Structure 1
Amino acid sequence: MSRLNGRRQEARQKGMRVNVAILGAGRIAHSLARTLVMMTKDERYNRLVAPYAVASRDRERAGAFAAQYGFEHPYGSYQELLEDPEVDLVYIATPHNLHAEQAVACMEAGKNVLVEKSFTANAKQARQVIETSQKTGLLCTEAIWTRYMPSRSIIDRIVSSGDLGTVQTVTGNLGYVTTGKARMTDPALAGGALLDVGVYPLNFIDMIMGPRPIERITTDWVRSPEGVDSQNSTTLLYQDGSMGVATSSMVSNSDRFGSIWGSEGYLMCGNINNVESLDLYDNTHEKIRSYPIPDQLTGYEYEVASAAEAILDGRTECPEMPHHDTLRIMELMDSIRQQWGLVYPFEG
């Protein structure tokens, strides 16, 4: 078991930091490692988290990764990481198809988990992971950074202020050319634009519309040569007459804009994947206000800090991305794929 589990109050009093390990050593793992190093030099976080270990299936790769970022413990197998009782939080940075199995294994070994998006490959796997979190009493949260960033609370305040009037439509798009990566194109890795890129527009819409009932979903996709979605578009029609429109692509670069349309004006959000600007317009299309976005280290620090605080508080989920929100998004993406007829090989 982790050294913090069951002794959280004592850990708080002693100022013990949450030891973070990274499972996987790919691109996103490097981003998280850089963030952890920066957090250790920032007075807001340096007493909260500590970079501790990295695990890869290649011992040399793990060693090089650890040396680059100053991690004390490089492991040449995932099992070695699971057997280390000093690991408090594991960030899972592997392809989507592995998330469920690895998250469950970590929690059964007494490790809290921060699971990179998409949380799992489908809702069935997500339920299994969440059930394991509830059974073990360990934190399990999805690492979709836009849910944790300060820009989210700024948007929430604007929407609730009434300046937009009644919100009727939310749109979001995201596109990057990423076809050179196997994790994006291989069906066996749960590849395709939806789970990796499309999850952001869908979350952008969901953060504003919330769990309001959906009346119907209209969606279509472009099938890649490998058999996954290269790009897609989905319209969510809610029972109250509002709607959301999400578009994503892995074969083209988009403007990445999100927009919130209301009866009294609209809000333009620059880069829904990491909001850079927020501009409010009235019904005459005149810009009446711009909202500053706080400086950040990399943007990943917010999810790490939230996970660490949750662990020290003995919680199994983070308020920014509770289990029911994660499950709702996974069920939505299952529904979208079902309409397309896209089934991953491991789903049978």
Structure 2
Amino acid sequence: MGVFRWGICSAGKISQDFCYAVHNLENHRIQAIAARSREDAQNLGSKVGAETIYEGYAPLANDPNVDIVYIGSINTAHFPLCKLFLEAKKHVLCEKPLGVNAKEVGQMIDLAKKSGVFFMEAIWSRFFPAYEKIRSLVSSGELGEVKCITGDFCIAASHVERLMNKSLAGGALIDIGIYLVQLVTMVFGPDPILVQGVGGLTETGVDETCSITLQYPGNKVASLLTSLTIHGNNEASIIGTKGRINLRDTFHAPSVIELVRGYPAPGLLEREVIEFPVPTTSHPTNFINSGGLGYQAEAIRIAVEEGKTEHPLVSWSESLAIHRIMDKLRHDVGYFHQDEETDKETS
């Protein structure tokens, strides 16, 4: 295929970080950037050598020099933008959450199947070397039988307007809680036998805090917490009968893991810290460890080159399963998106 040419849809903070990470990669190019403001697109494009700048998104869908489009827009724009680019038969990488609910995600997947293009939700965590190591340790039996996963992702961000705005699909679960859920589905699988959320809503109607319980066969459980009003440890642990993995601060984009062995004798615990340095970027990033976005980009380039339409680490079926879990959790705390409110009233 040669150089993999990216079209960037939106010039916000996460799109900036994605561009900075990809800019350093061999066989990748930021070909075009589109944003609602031409000035914003131009500012970002000048930093990463984009050849083409667009005001608005339709021209990007029609650009023959773009191989794949990365969508980094606000949550509520994901569905219409995915539709635009998939119908134009562009490969698409869309930021999480893929849709505001499972209904939207299912419709996107159907369209991707019809168009025959690569399509993936950007759960970038899955492509970090640390996550690859986690999968290896779990599958090899190093931890024994994994029985429990704990974690929290809590950020004091009630001042961020879009996170508090229901019309923009704000809320803790869909924006950051999804990282906890994807960790559990990666280890335990996409089909829990029980999904339970306990929490409450902000005055603006979005979920503020949610305590999450996911139960799986064999007495396997996950106990998780997400919130937009407190700052937590943002750590996770994967606990088995022979050992555990501790993911320190920034569990969703880790540069280090701690492997603990030695059960059942506490005095004989063996601790091993394994480091995975995250690549640097061409410019300072907005979010921690954003250099790791390059892992995802390279994995997708290889998948597209191999003719795949989905990636096994973030399959269509798993994205749909994750969003069904997310829907249940949000509904448990009283949060329904606008079209879900209508469905609820007419059912």
Same fold (TM over 0.5): yes
Query: What amino acid is aligned across from residue 246 of structure 2 in structure 1?
Result: M
CA shift for structure 1 position 266: 2.0
Q: Which of 213, 222, 233 is the equivalent residue of 1:255?
A: 233
Amino acid at match of 1:67: S
Which moved further from structure 2: 289-298 or 119-128?
289-298
Match of 2:323 among 311, 319, 330: 330
1:55–1:81: 8 Å Cα contact kept in structure 2? yes
Determine the C-alpha separation between the residues in 1 that align with 2:62 and 2:333: 42
Distance in 1, matches of 2:61 and 2:255, equals: 38
Residue of structure 1 equivalent to 2:299: 306
Residues 179-203 of structure 1 show CA distances to partners (whole Å, capped at 9, x for unaligned) of 2223211111110010111011111
Counterpart pick for 2:219 among 226, 230, 241: 241
2:38 to 42, 51, 59: 59
Q: Contact between 1:150 and 1:294, CA under 8 Å: does it hold in 2?
A: no
Say which of 270, 284, 306 aligns to 1:287.
270
Summarize deviations over 1:286-307 as a string: whole Å, max 9, x none.
Answer: 2332223244340001111122
Report the Cα distance in structure 2 between the residues aligned to 1:243 and 1:124, rounded to whole angstroms: 26
Q: What SS is found at the alignment partner of 2:24? A: helix
Instruction: Give ranges in structure 1 of 5+ residues lacking alignment.
Output: 1-10, 40-45
Deviations 1:195-216 (A, max 9, x none): 11101111111111113x4222
**1:276 and 2:255 correspond:** yes
Cα separation, 1, equivalents of 2:22 and 2:236: 29
Q: What is the letter of the counterpart of residue 146 of structure 2?
A: V
Residue pairs, 1:147-162, within 5 angstroms: 147-162=126-141
Normalization by structure 2: what TM-score? 0.90
Task: State the secondary structure of the residue aligned to 2:295.
Answer: helix
C-alpha contact (below 8 Å) 1:92/1:114 kept by paired residues: yes
Counterpart selection for 2:24 from 21, 30, 38: 38
Structure 2: which 5+ runs fail to align? Answer: 281-290, 343-347
1:265 and 2:243 are equivalent in the alignment: yes
Query: 1:87 is aligned with what amino acid?
Result: V
Distance of 2:144 and 2:298 partners within structure 1: 34
Match of 1:223 in 2: 201
Secondary structure of the structure 2 residue equivalent to 1:94 = coil
1:120, distance to aligned residue in structure 2 (A): 0.9
**TM-aligned CA deviation for residue 178 of structure 1:** 2.2
Determine helix, strand or coil for the equivalent of 1:300.
helix
- The CA deviation at 1:345 is 2.2
Q: 1:172 touches 1:202 (CA, 8 Å); kept in 2?
A: no
Q: 3-state SS of the aligned residue for 1:314? A: coil
Task: Say whether residues 1:319 and 2:302 are aligned partners.
Answer: no
SS at match of 1:321: coil
Q: 1:296 aligns with which of 257, 279, 285?
A: 279
Sequence identity of aligned pairs in percent? 29
Aligned counterpart, 1:17 = 3
1:123 & 1:328 partners in 2: Cα distance?
8
How far is 1:142 from its partner? 0.9
3-state secondary structure, aligned to 1:132: helix
What's the offset of the Cα at 1:346?
A: 4.2
Shifted more, 282-291 versus 293-302: the winner is: 282-291
Q: Does 1:339 align with 2:325?
A: no
Give the distance between the partners of 2:137 and 2:298, measured in 1 at CA.
Answer: 25
1:93 corresponds to: 72
1:117 alignment partner in structure 2: 96
Q: 2:183 aligns with which of 195, 200, 204?
A: 204
Specify the code of the residue in structure 2 equivalent to 1:205.
Answer: V
1:153-184 deviation line (CA, Å, top 9, x unaligned): 10112122323221110112112222222321
Distance 2:236 2:208 in 1: 20
- Which residue pairs with 2:285 in the alignment? none
Given that 1:172 and 1:204 are in contact with CA atoms closer than 8 Å, whether structure 2 keeps it comes out as no
CA distance in 1 between partners of 2:50 and 2:39 (Å) = 14
Shift of 1:247: 1.1
Q: Deviations over 1:231-258 (max 9, x none)?
A: 2111111132110112111222111111
Q: Residue 12 of structure 2 aligns to which amino acid in structure 1?
A: G
Letter in 1 for 2:253: N
Deviation at 1:33, TM superposition (A): 1.1
Q: Does 2:118 correspond to 1:132?
A: no
**Whole-angstrom CA distance in 2 between matches of 1:239 and 1:74:** 51
- Deviation digits for residues 50-107 of structure 1, max 9, x if unmatched? 1111111111221222123221111011111112111111100011111111111101
